[in-house]
Structure 1
């Protein structure tokens, strides 16, 4: 009996030791895991690839490339008094050229494929956070007038970067993609002495241009004809809601900010498509509605380049029927600085009439005959 009791005590002692060792191992693993998480979070905070917590450090190199991750951080922490914003039609603008022409300290916050609402919300956050922001160059996509006011091409956004809620920052601090594509990329650039992406380079692109490249994405023989090509009360109300909600309401809140708003000059092939679809008149009426709303805003200077035929009719500037190269961006910026193509209450109807006359009577077939593509 005594031997059995001794054996049981011995087993209990061993079990206790085993349980203690297991608890110790478990606690050690938890400590290591917690330490790794804390270290990871600290590394992300220090490197801060999307500028959520602080402005860039001079001793680090930064790769600026993911607009929907980076732009809000630029608004939060960069020093600037001017901004260039818009879709891909604005990506090749150079803030350095704007600074030279306007005497500003500009940043660029563009969003490829953005709708009006996305641009407006981002600009609203920037204006709220930065009282020094007094000049905005805003490219308002001409082909978006008749979209829903809240139209968006993308559904997934890193909204945890846009708000001031610290509790959802876990999606930033402990995110494998941000660690690999953001933190590690910046560290590699720093160690290899690669300079940071400049604001001119940020979001800019270079593509082959010319009619041959336009025709790779534009097939005039298979243009889809919409069921309704008219412009009635429903279409007018849609344009009014889009412009009022996303542009007029915002600029009215900041009367001391000057908004240089421009319609981007699409190529002659874009207007060819409007003619083939029978929607040129509808687009011009939408333009008139939007223009009248924008001209009611005293702090808006509106620019329309559809009479710049040397640009619009030169397919060598375009990679598709809408997107122009960086050379055009530079020309547009120069024209804005010179107040060329400024739209006013006195000239907007005349400009619309000239557009209707030119684009409705243009010999579009000649474009493709010269290229030997008809």
Structure 2
């Protein structure tokens, strides 16, 4: 009986090992996250694919931030900023849906380790510093052998092998989303989230909390890597997003945080700052939004074009004026009148 049990155990173990070897071999050959080699086909999951792309693809500029910046087109960035500067840009889109500063911390550490980046465009979202998600697959962002084993012997990775075979995504369709824009869509979204409590979804717009996350996850890299040029921009959410901050009692902390960030970045010679939030022509153009935050592709194109032309630049001479304009627009916004204009 004992001998029979031993043989059954050995056979079972051998079968399991064979299955693991086969599965690991499939993952290694298909390599859905490009951990081992470069591929021109993708699964369209930035959090999983960025570390492999960073390691195996050529680039010298990256775009980071949340979905607010996801629809920027690297081709447009390369064309305009190559003309405006002295070197040729080759940009990769490393934006993350719902990106938080702890995500950016892990991402930047990987990118700097690969040593290719010279230019970074960063979409600055307040909510990215008001919450930490820790949902990035950080084991993919290291070169440890144990993490490579975790990669190849992973059921999710195997599922994504099938996804890459069945529905591969090419570079020109990577990390983009398409939604309807217009006043009706904006109104529908605002009415749905108007009374939402940010605390109930884990956000803490406390100045001290946001400052800590910014200092630790972004400012430390900017100060450490003075050889890299940063473009930091404040994206034009619709006025309704700022109204949500105001009416929820968070705008004072956000304003204070923004002022701190601007003053800290102005002291960094390797940073240019652009602000699209203190211009009514942007945040009050209610036909260009698909929800309270996300704007149209037209705005994406215009943001990149204006920054390449050095428009809406924040300087030591004008930053207080821009902050005051921002404060005035938000505090004076009449929601009822805005809703009348939409209806």
Is the TM-score greater than 0.5? yes
Cα offset for 1:222? Answer: 5.4
CA distance in 2, matches of 1:247, 1:100: 27
Q: For the Cα contact (< 8 Å) 2:211–2:257, is it kept in 1?
A: no
CA distance in 1, matches of 2:126, 2:305: 20
Q: How many residues align?
A: 332
Structure-2 residue corresponding to 1:50: 33
TM-score normalised according to structure 1 size: 0.79
Q: For the Cα contact (< 8 Å) 2:122–2:230, is it kept in 1?
A: yes
Q: Alpha carbons of 1:221 and 1:369: their partners in 2 closer, same or farther (altered >3 Å)? A: farther
Match of 1:74 among 53, 71, 75: 53
CA distance in 2, matches of 1:286, 1:186: 42
Q: How does 1:99-110 map to 2 (within 5 A)?
A: 99-103=78-82, 104-110=89-95
Task: Tell me the alpha carbon deviations over residues 325-350 of structure 1, each in whole angstroms, 9 at most, x when there is no partner.
Answer: 22211111111111111111111011
Q: How does 1:115-134 map to 2 (within 5 A)?
A: 115-129=100-114, 131-134=115-118
Structure-2 residue corresponding to 1:302: 273
Match of 1:274 among 242, 245, 260: 245
Q: For the Cα contact (< 8 Å) 1:239–1:290, is it kept in 2?
A: no
Q: For the Cα contact (< 8 Å) 2:119–2:228, is it kept in 1?
A: yes
Q: Alpha carbons of 1:283 and 1:169: their partners in 2 closer, same or farther (altered >3 Å)? A: same
Q: For the Cα contact (< 8 Å) 2:31–2:161, is it kept in 1?
A: yes
Task: Tell me the alpha carbon deviations over residues 58-101 of structure 1, each in whole angstroms, 9 at most, x when there is no partner.
Answer: 6xxx2332222111111121111110111111111111111111
CA distance in 2, matches of 1:93, 1:211: 22
Task: Tell me the alpha carbon deviations over residues 301-352 of structure 1, each in whole angstroms, 9 at most, x when there is no partner.
Answer: 1111123433311222112111112221111111111111111111101111
Cα offset for 1:293? Answer: 1.1
Q: Alpha carbons of 1:220 and 1:179: their partners in 2 closer, same or farther (altered >3 Å)? A: closer
Structure-2 residue corresponding to 1:230: none
Task: Tell me the alpha carbon deviations over residues 128-153 of structure 1, each in whole angstroms, 9 at most, x when there is no partner.
Answer: 21x221011111103445x2xxx323
Q: Is 1:86 matched with 2:59?
A: no
Cα offset for 1:210? Answer: 2.2
Match of 1:243 among 208, 214, 225: 214
Q: Alpha carbons of 1:367 and 1:44: their partners in 2 closer, same or farther (altered >3 Å)? A: same
Q: How does 1:103-252 map to 2 (within 5 A)?
A: 103=82, 104-129=89-114, 131-144=115-128, 147=130, 151-153=131-133, 155-180=134-159, 182-189=160-167, 196-198=169-171, 200-219=172-191, 223=195, 235-252=206-223
Q: For the Cα contact (< 8 Å) 1:236–1:289, is it kept in 2?
A: no
- Rg comparison, structure with higher value: 1
Q: Is 1:320 matched with 2:291?
A: yes
Unpaired stretches in structure 2, ≥5 consecutive residues: 83-88, 200-204
Secondary structure class of the residue paired with 1:307: coil
Secondary structure class of the residue paired with 1:218: helix
Q: Is 1:38 matched with 2:38?
A: no
CA distance in 1, matches of 2:22, 2:192: 57
Cα offset for 1:52? Answer: 1.1
Structure-2 residue corresponding to 1:283: 254
CA distance in 1, matches of 2:163, 2:225: 38
